[in-house]
């Protein structure tokens, strides 16, 4: 069977795996599952329903929902009849919805729940809204699907035959850290070329493995992965919510899942906080194992004595870590932002293979990925370049990419497209270095700044090092055109409580604690310890502790958890001036 378009994966999966459970979601305490054949049946009906409704090839349809099989059904059904999906984050604002609806010329909207509907409705105009839940003022999803029940399958086959690999199948609006979102235009061939290469480096067995999915499908990372899972014949289970991931891991016992570093950081911090609750020999053993893991390098011989200790640590300590993840995880893929090397070391030491990758929405997304074995893993690097793409480092250090995965351009933005795609190379905006096929990211080009002394500072590298402290949750390095770098720090209040408990310091409130001299002295030492890794002109000279965490809802983070530096600078202008004037 020739595979050239993404929807070709449905008959491919039926022919090769014929899954009893292709997709699954949890409803009212039990799992609802869909076989490969059931997926095809629903998708075909839905494609015909779109045709019946008057959606034509090239028309845009917005898709706003948390992860669920219905998300996939809409996505693939649109592909089959030549429609173009415009996926959107449920968490963005009504004004963002309005901008994208209008800019993309959206004809129709699918929503996941009441909250999303309420936000979308006020800016939807006269567009029809279909909902996955039973919501007044919408067309229920199942009713819409049934519109295609009596449709002519021959018409659908003709529609599918008319779709070419180089046809646009989606426009994804990147949230961006500044300004209005840009609509990235991706073709079937863009994503399919990437999916086939990524599928080659999954280690769980084809046809029989399970995946837990919780990263947003509206982001290209999890969406492309969902097609790779289809190629591999994996059963995909959608987590109920971010809050239930721990419970879902234990019941599904997945062999693989995708994540972002922020979640791994939270898992690690939670494990360490549990360690602090232990006492006596148990506590000593826990931190002995932890410190052993932080020194581990899976790609290097560590010596017989180290290996003996690690084997013992795995038996008495790390086995519990694996159980918390379901006990059967063979591979965890980490992407979207930089993974702290210490986390990779300790998880690999614990027998949990965390494999970091790198890419952008504009590259469908994967440019490089860590190969999940002891011979090819390299801690601190974002893996090897995948096949079929070229990468070169420009004279200013910027990573340039060429290949079948590179986007068609930005929707209705010819000038931005020309700026990003120069001389046949996509300019990533990231700074990095190559060592043979291995790629390392050192910073974002636009995030680097100069001090008033003319010295360049790469804030992302510094921020990752500072966040290795169990007392620091979030941090931004500032100092453009200033005498020296400084930082805004959001403490890890959970870590701070553990520290106070350990030191016998009474804990009152978060706000009161960060004003106490003994706590400020502790943060002085944490900053001093991190500063040792940087040149004198890079070191953070002063900082301000903040009591409110940054989030998507409060505007400091993008939906993919990246810092919106401009927003943070504006929001904390008074605090920043206080740092430099104090």
Section 478-500 average pLDDT: 93
pLDDT above 70 coverage of the chain, percent: 99
> How far is 202 from 61, CA to CA, in rounded Å?
32
**Closest to 511 measured CA to CA, from 475, 476, 548, 551:** 548
Answer whether residue 529 is part of any domain. yes
CATH number of the domain residue 362 falls in:
3.40.50.12780
| H runs (alpha helix) in 123-260 | 141-146, 153-162, 188-199, 220-232, 245-252
Say which DSSP state 338 is in. Answer: P
Residue-level pLDDT at 566: 87
Answer whether residue 430 is part of any domain. yes
CA distances from 350 to 247, 274, 322, 375 (A): 20, 16, 7, 17
Residue 247 tokens read as: 């419970």
Check whether residue 23 and residue 151 sit in a common domain: yes
If pLDDT is split at 50, 70 and 90, which confidence band does 1 have?
A: low
Say which DSSP state 515 is in. Answer: T
Answer whether residue 142 is part of any domain. yes
Check whether residue 218 and residue 146 sit in a common domain: yes
Pick the more confident residue, 383 or 338: 383
Question: Using an 8 Å Cβ cutoff, are 100 and 106 in contact?
Answer: yes
Check whether residue 211 and residue 273 sit in a common domain: no
Answer whether residue 253 is part of any domain. no
The 10s digit of each residue's pLDDT in 300-331 is 999 999 999 999 999 999 999 999 999 999 99
Check whether residue 374 and residue 499 sit in a common domain: no
CA terminus-to-terminus distance, the chain: 69
Across the strands, what pairs with 486? Answer: 478, 542
End of a domain among 445, 471, 495? 445
The pTM assigned to this predicted structure is: 0.86
Answer whether residue 248 is part of any domain. no
Whether the predicted pLDDT of 278 surpasses 80 = yes
Residue-level pLDDT at 29: 86
Whether the predicted pLDDT of 530 surpasses 90 = yes
3-state class of 295 per DSSP?
coil
Check whether residue 184 and residue 216 sit in a common domain: yes
Check whether residue 70 and residue 145 sit in a common domain: yes
Check whether residue 380 and residue 458 sit in a common domain: no
The 10s digit of each residue's pLDDT in 544-572 is 999 999 998 898 988 877 888 889 999 99
Question: Using an 8 Å Cβ cutoff, are 135 and 117 in contact?
Answer: yes
Answer whether residue 249 is part of any domain. no
Check whether residue 410 and residue 521 sit in a common domain: no
Check whether residue 71 and residue 213 sit in a common domain: yes
Whether the predicted pLDDT of 259 surpasses 90 = yes
If pLDDT is split at 50, 70 and 90, which confidence band does 227 have?
A: very high
Residue-level pLDDT at 505: 94
Answer whether residue 245 is part of any domain. no
Answer whether residue 33 is part of any domain. yes
- CA 186, 188, 192, 195 torsion: positive or negative? positive
Whether the predicted pLDDT of 177 surpasses 60 = no
Check whether residue 215 and residue 173 sit in a common domain: yes
Check whether residue 211 and residue 323 sit in a common domain: no
Across the strands, what pairs with 84? Answer: 60
Backbone angles phi, psi at 429, to 5 degrees: 85, 0
For tokens 């839940």, the residue is 133
| H runs (alpha helix) in 81-140 | 94-103, 114-121
Cis bond upstream, residue 7 (ω within 30): no
End of a domain among 422, 445, 468? 445
Residue-level pLDDT at 582: 67
Residue-level pLDDT at 178: 53
Backbone angles phi, psi at 187, to 5 degrees: -100, 170
Residue-level pLDDT at 176: 59
Whether the predicted pLDDT of 446 surpasses 80 = no
- Radius of gyration, CA atoms only, the chain: 25
Residue-level pLDDT at 448: 81
Section 201-214 average pLDDT: 96
Pick the more confident residue, 204 or 262: 204
Domains identified in the chain, total number: 3
Residue-level pLDDT at 257: 97
> How far is 105 from 108, CA to CA, in rounded Å?
9
Give the range among 171-185, 332-346, 389-403, 547-561 with minimum mean pLDDT.
171-185
Parent domain of 517: 448-581
The 10s digit of each residue's pLDDT in 340-374 is 899 999 999 999 999 999 999 999 999 999 999 99
Residue-level pLDDT at 383: 96
Residue 76 tokens read as: 């693939």
For tokens 């993404």, the residue is 6
Computed over every residue of the chain, the mean pLDDT equals 94
The 10s digit of each residue's pLDDT in 408-445 is 999 999 999 999 999 999 999 999 999 999 999 988 77
The 10s digit of each residue's pLDDT in 122-175 is 999 999 999 999 999 999 999 999 999 988 999 999 999 999 999 999 999 987
CATH number of the domain residue 504 falls in:
3.30.300.30
Section 25-53 average pLDDT: 96
User: 406-437: string of b/e by CB count within 10 Å (b at 16+)?
Assistant: bbbbbbebeeebeebbeeebbbbebbbeeeee
> How far is 475 from 463, CA to CA, in rounded Å?
6
Residue 182 tokens read as: 């840009």
Total residue count of the chain as it appears in this document: 582
Check whether residue 265 and residue 195 sit in a common domain: no
């Amino acid at each position: 069977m020739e595979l050239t378009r993404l929807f070709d994966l449905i008959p491919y999966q039926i022919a090769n795996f014929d899954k009893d459970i292709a997709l699954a979601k949890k409803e009212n305490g039990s799992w609802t599952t869909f076989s490969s054949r059931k997926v095809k049946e629903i998708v075909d009906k839905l494609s015909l329903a779109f045709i019946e409704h008057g959606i034509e090839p090239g028309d845009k349809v917005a898709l706003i929902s948390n992860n669920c099989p219905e998300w996939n059904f809409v996505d693939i059904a649109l592909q089959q009849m030549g429609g173009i999906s415009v996926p959107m984050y449920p968490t963005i604002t009504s004004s963002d919805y309005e901008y994208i609806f209008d800019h993309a010329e959206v004809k129709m909207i699918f929503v996941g729940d009441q909250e999303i509907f309420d936000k979308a409705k006020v800016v939807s105009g006269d567009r029809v809204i279909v909902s996955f839940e039973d919501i007044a003022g919408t067309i229920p999803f199942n009713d819409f699907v049934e519109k295609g029940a009596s449709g002519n399958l021959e018409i659908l086959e003709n529609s599918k035959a008319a779709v070419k690999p180089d046809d646009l199948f989606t426009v994804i609006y990147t949230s961006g850290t500044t300004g209005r979102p840009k609509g990235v235009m991706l073709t079937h061939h863009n994503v399919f070329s990437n999916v086939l290469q990524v599928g080659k480096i999954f280690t769980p067995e084809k046809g029989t493995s399970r995946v837990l999915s919780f990263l947003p499908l509206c982001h290209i990372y999890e969406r492309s992965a969902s097609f790779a899972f289809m190629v591999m014949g994996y059963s995909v289970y959608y987590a109920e919510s971010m809050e239930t991931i721990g419970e879902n891991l234990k019941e599904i016992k997945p062999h693989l899942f995708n994540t972002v570093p922020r979640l791994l950081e939270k898992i690690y911090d939670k494990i360490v906080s549990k360690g602090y609750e232990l006492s006596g020999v148990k506590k000593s053993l826990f931190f002995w194992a932890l410190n052993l893991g932080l020194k581990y390098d899976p790609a290097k011989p560590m010596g017989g004595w180290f290996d003996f200790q690690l084997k013992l640590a795995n038996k008495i300590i790390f086995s519990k870590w694996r159980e918390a993840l379901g006990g059967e995880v063979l591979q965890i893929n980490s992407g979207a932002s930089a993974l702290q090397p210490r986390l990779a070391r300790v998880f690999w030491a614990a027998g949990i293979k965390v494999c970091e990758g790198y890419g952008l929405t504009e590259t469908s997304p994967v440019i490089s990925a860590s190969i999940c074995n002891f011979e090819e893993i390299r801690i601190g690097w974002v893996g090897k370049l995948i096949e079929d793409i070229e990468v070169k480092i420009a004279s200013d250090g910027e990573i340039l990419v060429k290949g079948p995965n590179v986007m068609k351009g930005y929707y209705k933005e010819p000038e931005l497209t020309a700026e990003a795609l120069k001389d046949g190379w996509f300019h990533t905006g990231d700074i990095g270095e190559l060592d043979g096929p291995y790629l390392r990211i050192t910073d974002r080009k636009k995030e680097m700044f100069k001090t008033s002394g003319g010295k360049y500072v790469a804030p992302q590298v510094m921020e990752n090092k500072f966040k290795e402290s169990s007392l620091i949750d979030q941090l931004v390095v500032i100092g453009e055109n200033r005498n020296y770098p400084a930082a805004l720090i959001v403490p890890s209040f959970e870590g701070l409580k553990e520290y106070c408990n350990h030191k016998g310091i009474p804990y009152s409130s978060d706000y009161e604690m960060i004003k106490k001299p003994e706590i400020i002295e502790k943060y002085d030492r944490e900053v001093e310890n991190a500063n040792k890794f940087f040149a004198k002109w890079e070191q953070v000279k002063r900082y301000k502790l903040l009591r409110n965490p940054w989030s998507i809802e409060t505007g400091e983070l993008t939906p993919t958890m990246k810092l919106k530096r401009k927003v943070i600078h504006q929001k904390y202008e008074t605090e920043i001036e206080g740092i430099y004037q104090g």
